């Protein structure tokens, strides 16, 4: 997260003079989706995905359904289940700084 925050800070400082809040918003949306995809890949095995989804507060039936899915990583990263569990608050707790808040 430290490296990502360094990159985001530098990128923001370079482009902050331009009136581009929509670009910053789209970039943060893409970055969070990419981070969700990476987290999903890190969990690797279906049983690990189910266990972590349950730990994040997903009901067991839904966790079993989504943990065993065969959909691709990028597609799952935009799924409703990961949007609710790996949301903005989750990434703030992990240390990600938002460009929207600046």
Q: What is the count of structural domains for the chain?
A: 1
102 found inside a domain = no
99 found inside a domain = no
Contact 53, 81 (CB under 8 A): yes
Q: What range defines the domain where residue 86 resides?
A: 2-94
100 found inside a domain = no
90 Cβ contact partners less than 8 Å away, ≥ 6 residues apart: 56
Question: What band does 102 get if pLDDT is binned at 50, 70 and 90?
Answer: low
9 found inside a domain = yes
Q: What is the pTM of this model?
A: 0.84
15 found inside a domain = yes
Question: Does residue 71 surpass a pLDDT of 70?
Answer: yes
Question: What band does 86 get if pLDDT is binned at 50, 70 and 90?
Answer: very high
pLDDT for position 100: 67
Burial class (CB in 10 A: 0-12, 13-18, 19+), 71: exposed
């Amino acid at each position: 997260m430290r490296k990502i925050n360094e990159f985001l800070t530098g990128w923001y400082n370079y482009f902050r003079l331009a009136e581009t809040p929509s670009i910053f918003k789209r970039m943060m949306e893409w970055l969070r989706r990419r981070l969700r995809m990476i987290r999903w890949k890190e969990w690797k095995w279906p049983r690990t995905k189910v266990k972590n989804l349950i730990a994040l507060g997903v009901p067991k039936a839904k966790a079993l359904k989504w943990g065993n899915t065969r959909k691709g990583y990028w597609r799952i990263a935009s799924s409703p289940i990961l949007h609710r569990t790996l949301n903005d608050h989750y990434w703030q707790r992990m240390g990600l700084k938002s460009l929207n808040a600046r």
